[in-house]
Structure 1
């Protein structure tokens, strides 16, 4: 996608996390040093809504504990220039809640960005986990 394109990306997901840091969601990537990932993550024995923003190689992490594993967990990410709005919804009809308004600058050399689903199981104790992504939609606008 063109690096300056505004868009809204949505997806529903269900995951059966097993170990610390199992995660799934959406990712926006300029390059290896400038990206955002959001979704659910398994931390301290429970599910959390999670956003990690990395700018110039420096990351910060936001977590919101969830009462129970949502089925499905819904994500909506809206990009307007360098502002990223991250919202999540729990269950089929749960209202979207704002989780994060983040700054993700354009990298001068970057002409395109990548937007899509992501999942990871970085813990060495992990054998992986099952995740279902449903209704991925990316809508461009000016």
Structure 2
């Protein structure tokens, strides 16, 4: 989205799927404290279902796009933040930055009944500002991400039901610890990407 196409969403435009421990506006930012043990996952490999990540969601146009910008200044195991597209408890996508194997990773989980997980290490993103973008059109969601003002990089092209009514917005969760605090800088919406490449 170019600057002229971005429409910044006020934090009050969304409703929480699961309330965080705390959420306060600090100037233009939203500072969120996650609940220990919060997560989003269905079945695959781990054998459990978690559906208590803290996602602040509003209706998303299709075709359309959503962007979330946040600071990566946390380092607990499986700490994560980014964006969620959600139709229901079995149909959703989360994408963002997660701490795993001792480093920051950019990745996505797509859940269509069961979850999958794709990720790539980005240790150089730690301590910096990240923007994650999801563009939905037809039967696909295209996820891109960038650090600071660097160019967006492609993270994932995922199948997603074209008929599903979706809500989207920022999320965070802390599967293994208390005390995760995420500073979200912006939540924006706009038109879908014109092309995949």
What TM-score do you get using the length of structure 2 for normalisation?
A: 0.63
Aligned counterpart, 2:184: 133
Q: Could you report, residue by residue, the CA deviation over 1:28-54 in whole angstroms, capped at 9, with x for unpaired residues? A: 001100100000000011100010000
Q: 1:16 is paired with a residue of what secondary structure?
A: coil
Using the TM superposition, give the Cα deviation of residue 25 of structure 1 relative to its aligned residue in structure 2, in angstroms.
Answer: 0.4
Greater RCO structure (CA 8 Å; 6+ sep): 1
- From 151, 168, 175, the equivalent of 1:95 is 151
Measure the CA separation in 2 of the matches of 1:70 and 1:98: 21
Aligned counterpart, 2:167: 114
Aligned counterpart, 2:142: 85
Answer 1 or 2: which has greater strand percent: 1
Aligned counterpart, 2:34: none
Q: 1:21 is paired with a residue of what secondary structure?
A: coil
Measure the CA separation in 1 of the matches of 2:127 and 2:72: 9
* Residue 5 to residue 77, structure 1, CA distance change in 2 (3 Å): same
Measure the CA separation in 2 of the matches of 1:130 and 1:13: 11
Aligned pairs (5 A) from 1:26-41: 26-41=83-98
Gaps spanning 5+ residues in structure 1: where?
none
- From 106, 116, 121, the equivalent of 1:65 is 121
Using the TM superposition, give the Cα deviation of residue 81 of structure 1 relative to its aligned residue in structure 2, in angstroms.
Answer: 2.0
Measure the CA separation in 1 of the matches of 2:96 and 2:136: 16
Aligned counterpart, 2:36: none
Measure the CA separation in 2 of the matches of 1:67 and 1:113: 31
**Aligned CA-pair RMSD:** 1.8
Q: 2:116 is paired with a residue of what secondary structure?
A: strand
Using the TM superposition, give the Cα deviation of residue 12 of structure 1 relative to its aligned residue in structure 2, in angstroms.
Answer: 1.2
Measure the CA separation in 1 of the matches of 2:74 and 2:117: 19
